Structure formats: structure tokens, C-alpha cells
Structure 1
Amino acid sequence: MDLRDRVNTALKTAMKDKDTARLTTLRLINAAIKDQDIARRGTDDASGVTDTDILAILAKMTKQRQESVRAYEEGGRLDLAEREAGEIAIIEEFLPRQLSEEEIETAVDDVITETGATSIRDMGKIMGRLKDKYAGQMDFGAVGPKVKSRLG
């Protein structure tokens, strides 16, 4: 079952269970996916959103909510921080397991070896390969400096 189907199935279940918090978050996920579908209609790639694209959407939504949690906690709005954390938990149900630091280090080393990268100019190639192989499994903002330190 692809990710879109999993989200729709979870949405229907949340409707039946009358779980409003879960239902709201799942509708937000669905809306983000449909927005990407609509954005692609006018381009050469009108095939629609793939599972990889959906993983990227979910990762972005998670990151946005993590930033909101920090902001709400700093502002003393623990009720809102808690709600955002609840949304993160629901979104993460559809993301693959996050790699550990050790697994990330190994993945970076493997891709550097595969690509034959030797300098910082190869960073784009390495990051592209990592994103293809490990979409949704690691924070690429944090991986970038690791790759840079290995090459530089």
C-alpha cells in the first residue's frame, strides 16, 4: 500500500472513531499532498506525487511543527506546544524509522565511496544520492555538515 493510500485509510478510520485531533492532522497531510498534485499539473512532470515526494512533505511538516514546539515552549504556551507535539507523533507514523547517528555515518561513508567523491565540489552529488536512498530517514540539514567535514 502506498503512502497516499495509508493516509486515506487512516483518515477514514479517524472519521469512524471520531478522533478529531487525529482527523485534523490527517486532513492537513492530505491537503499538502493535494497541493503538490495541483502544483505539478502545469509542469512537464504531471504524473502526480510519488511516495518519495510524500516523504519529503511529511518531513517538512514535522520540521515545521518541531520549530513551533520550540517557539511555543519559549513563549510559555505549553498547551499549544503539546498540540504540535501530538501532530508530530501522528505525522511520524507515516515516516520510515529514523537512522541512528552510527547508521548515518555509515550511509555517508558508503555514498562517498560509491560516488568516488574527493572534494567539496562533489557534495551535491552525494546529497542527491543520500536523498534518493534515505528519504525521510535522516535530517539532511544535519547531514550536510557531516558530508562537508568528510570532504573538506
Structure 2
Amino acid sequence: MGLKERLSEDLKNAMKSGDKIRLEVVRMLQTMLRRREIERKGEGKELTEEDEIQVIKSEIKKRKEAIELFEKGGRVDLAEKERKELEILNEYLPEQMSEEEIREIVGRIIQETGAVGQKDFGKVMGLAMKELKGKADGSLVQKIVKEKLGM
């Protein structure tokens, strides 16, 4: 089942169960995906799974930033709502790789490229993100690459 079908099914279930937060998140996600699909058609391209993941990650990033701002402003109630939305959005991402699996892949890339030090950071990071796209959080990959390159 594709993401669109899953969202339609989840929308129906959220309506039946009265889960307002899930209903809001699913509707918002459907809207954002439609917008992205229209953009892609304007470019003469179809919406890919990678595009879908990109939309979800963008929404996740917005929620993380909002949580941080609400907590700084002392609005715990709003931060909690954003956390619930964040949990729901994470359900739509593909299974994320463990830190150990990411370390193995980054280690292999460093060996294959013969990377040493800060000057090779961009090359290693580029190859790692190409291989781990959608399967790992970019900030975690960056942290591991810096660690392995001794930065």
C-alpha cells in the first residue's frame, strides 16, 4: 500500500475514532503531498517516494523547531501538541537505520575513499547521504562522520 492509500485509510479511521490530532496531521500531510505533486507535474515529473519522504521530513523538522520555541516560551501545552504531531509524522517515515548500522556504512565509505580529516568531510558526507537517504537522520550521519574523521 502506497503512502496516499495509507493516508486515506488513516483519515477514515481518525474520523471514526474521533482522534482530532491524527485527523489534522493526516489532512495536512495529504495537502502538502498534493502541493508537491503539483510542483512536480509543473516540472513534467511524477511524485516519487523520495519526494514523499522529503515532505514528511520537512514537516518533522517544523515540529521539532516549534517544540523548541514553545518550550523556550514556556508554552508546555503547545509543545506537547507538537510532540504528538511529531510522533504521528514519524509513523509515515520508512524504518530508520540504527546508529550502529550508520557507523558501519560511514566506516566503509571512509575506507573506500581513503578519507582522512576535515578536508574529506564533504566527500564522505555526500556519499553517505546518497546511500542513507530516507533511512537515517542527516544530523546523526553528520555527527558520526565528524566523529570518525576526528573533527
TM-score class, shorter: 0.7 to 0.9
CA distance in 2, matches of 1:8, 1:110: 40
Aligned to 1:118: 115
Deviations 1:79-106 (A, max 9, x none): 1001000000110111123333222211
Q: Does the 8 Å contact 1:56/1:135 carry over to 2?
A: no
Q: CA deviation at 1:112?
A: 3.7
Aligned to 1:9: 9
Aligned to 1:78: 76
Q: Does the 8 Å contact 2:121/2:146 carry over to 1?
A: no
* Identity fraction in percent: 34
Aligned to 1:136: 134
Q: CA deviation at 1:109?
A: 1.8
Structure with bigger RCO (C-alpha 8 Å, 6+ apart):
1
For 1:35, the aligned partner's letter is R
Q: SS of 2:66's equivalent?
A: helix
Aligned to 1:90: 88
Q: Does the 8 Å contact 1:58/1:95 carry over to 2?
A: yes
Cα-Cα RMSD: 2.4
Please give the TM-score of this superposition, normalised by the length of structure 1: 0.80
For 1:103, the aligned partner's letter is E
Please give the TM-score of this superposition, normalised by the length of structure 2: 0.81
Q: Does the 8 Å contact 2:96/2:135 carry over to 1?
A: yes
Aligned to 2:24: 24
TM-aligned CA distance change 1:30 to 1:132, over 3 Å: farther
